Amino acid sequence: MKVLVIGGGAREHAICASLAKSVRITELHCAPGNAGIAEIARIADVSASNISNLKYYVKQQGIDLTIVGPEQPLCEGIVDSFRADKLRIFGPTKRAAELEGSKIFSKELMKKYGIPTARFEVLDSAQRALEVLEAFELPVVVKADGLAGGKGAVICKTRDDAEKTIHGMMEDRMFGSAGERVVIEEFLEGTEISLFALVDKYTVAPLIPARDYKRVRDGDEGPNTGGMGSFAWIHLLDSKTMKKIEEEILVRTVLALRAEGITYNGVIFYGLMLTRRGPMVLEYNCRFGDPETQVVLPLIRNDLLDLFEATIENKLTDVDLDFSEQAGVCVVLASEGYPGDYLKGRTVIGLDNPLGDDVYVFHAGTKKLGDKVVTTGGRVLSVCALGDSIEAARKKVYENVDVIHFDGVHYRTDIAAGVKS
Ligand code: AMP
Ligand code: GLY
């Protein structure tokens, strides 16, 4: 089979690395990929957001199956467009992707079907938003309805912050039309969990629970980023909590979608908060998470191609998921300045050092320049390791982080610190 993966981050590198182990794949392609992906897949010089060019490439190359990494093409309807031409593709339709594409859609779905989530109001004018704000305690969360590159949820500690955020989104249009309408919601306290599930017409199959670290600096200080690290472990949640999540959140969400006439085929990323009131949904995403995927996929023993095909063909019921008992830890190496404006073009050294057993380096913002690898993005590399405990994986990952270098590199030193396994 010829398979195309769409995207060019460390998440897509991890997806490609797992697929590359499948004996049924004769050609693996990636659009647009990066320097790391280029070692294991054919690079297609096509942007991940150009649906018509992607479709042209798939037809021209005779690709049998396409896997979509990022949310944007999904929310823009790439799956509908491919299906209309009978091209096989993994991911939800445009309507199903609203789960991520519209916070209002997802919050109203949760409310209607009794899926636990933060109390909220939907607002379509700044004036109303400012009035409603009074009814919420601080801190309060203001969210743009549409896609905002992971920056659309703002936790406001003061009324002044909240007012500024509302003005910024609704009047100054800091996120364009994505902020035309907003959700104001109560702040939830607790432990955050990322849980992916493969979903088809009949089955919801949760993968390995994970946690990500969004703030740029140790101790959860500094601004939010696309993710500075993560860990995953099958025993992260006790069986009672897992059962509650499955019943009240995972299955209920899919049944709710079905009741609305939507069949979801793909992965649902459940962003959860374990609160004193029980597990609650913070958000849904219609795709795999980054950097959680980098540690979840290496812990799955099944052939990833089988899982993707079963999901598309509504045959997940027949699949026996086989997970490793090991833990995985991922540390992101970022460019100087990130998550603000950052510097590019720095040479990465140390990538040729042999990696230890169960250590993976997934590329994000890199490209080849002659025989050198140089930085092109804010998040440059995901260094990941598996171990028999979270502590063991953590130790191994930091040993490997130390041998890779580029000028201005920064990373968190407290990923998975203090987590018991
Ligand atoms: P979202 O864009 O909805 O995923 O939110 C991004 C991040 O903001 C989440 O991963 C949480 O860390 C945080 N967050 C979102 N909503 C809430 C909430 N209601 N209470 C506390 N934290 C939240
Ligand atoms: N790790 C969070 C995300 O991918 O949105």
Q: What local confidence, expressed as pLDDT, does residue 420 receive?
A: 80
Q: Where are the alpha helices (DSSP H) in 30-139?
A: 51-61, 71-75, 78-84, 98-101, 103-112, 126-133
Q: What local confidence, expressed as pLDDT, does residue 236 receive?
A: 97
CA dihedral over 100, 91, 288, 317, signed as positive or negative:
positive
- Say if ligand 1 is within 6 A of residue 118 CB: yes
Q: Taking a C-beta distance cutoff of 8 angstroms, is the pair 99, 92 a contact?
A: yes
d(CA 248, CA 113): 10
- How many other C-beta atoms can be found within 10 angstroms of the C-beta atom of residue 167? 14
State the Cα angle at 185 between 182 and 188, rounded to 5°.
Answer: 145
C-alpha dist (Å) from residue 58 to 29, 66, 90, 111, 340:
10, 8, 14, 40, 35
Q: What is the reported pTM?
A: 0.97
Domains and CATH numbers, the chain: 2-94 (3.40.50.20), 119-186 (3.30.1490.20), 197-318 (3.30.470.20), 327-401 (3.90.600.10)
d(CA 272, CA 179): 23
d(CA 211, CA 194): 6
**Per-10-residue mean pLDDT, the chain, length 421:** 98 98 98 97 98 98 98 98 98 98 98 98 97 96 94 94 97 96 98 98 97 96 94 97 98 98 98 98 98 98 98 98 98 97 96 88 96 96 98 96 96 95 77
Ligand 1: residue whose CA is nearest its atom 13: 153
Determine the number of helices (DSSP H) and then strands (DSSP E) in the chain.
Answer: 13, 20
Ligand 1: residue whose CA is nearest its atom 16: 282
d(CA 320, CA 175): 42
Relative to the CA of 212, which ligand 2 atom is closest?
1
Q: What local confidence, expressed as pLDDT, does residue 150 receive?
A: 83
| Ligand 1 pocket test target in 110, 136, 141 with most atoms within 8 Å of CB | 141
- Say if ligand 1 is within 6 A of residue 71 CB: no
Relative to the CA of 227, which ligand 2 atom is closest?
1
- Say if ligand 2 is within 6 A of residue 387 CB: no
d(CA 275, CA 269): 18
Residue 245, class by beta-carbon neighbours within 10 Å (0-12 exposed, 13-18 middle, 19+ buried)?
A: buried
Q: What local confidence, expressed as pLDDT, does residue 418 receive?
A: 94
Dig out the tokens for 368 from the structure. Answer: 């080849």
Dig out the tokens for 167 from the structure. Answer: 């003005």
How far, in Å, is the centroid of ligand 2 from the Cα of 86?
30
Relative to the CA of 287, which ligand 2 atom is closest?
4
Contacts of 384 (CB under 8 A, 6+ apart): 14, 294, 295, 298, 328, 329, 330, 331, 359, 360, 361, 362, 397
Ligand 1: residue whose CA is nearest its atom 9: 282
Q: Taking a C-beta distance cutoff of 8 angstroms, is the pair 361, 40 a contact?
A: no
Measured torsion, CA atoms of residues 184, 144, 105, 245, in degrees rounded to the nearest 10: -70
- Say if ligand 1 is within 6 A of residue 249 CB: no
- Say if ligand 1 is within 6 A of residue 188 CB: yes
- Say if ligand 1 is within 6 A of residue 6 CB: no
- Three-state secondary-structure class, residue 140: strand
Quick one: which of 214, 185, 416 has its CA closest to 280?
Answer: 185
- Say if ligand 1 is within 6 A of residue 141 CB: yes
Dig out the tokens for 386 from the structure. Answer: 């598996």
Ligand 2: residue whose CA is nearest its atom 4: 289
- Ligand of minimum distance to the alpha carbon of 267: 2
Relative to the CA of 150, which ligand 1 atom is closest?
2
- Three-state secondary-structure class, residue 268: strand
Q: Taking a C-beta distance cutoff of 8 angstroms, is the pair 94, 51 a contact?
A: no
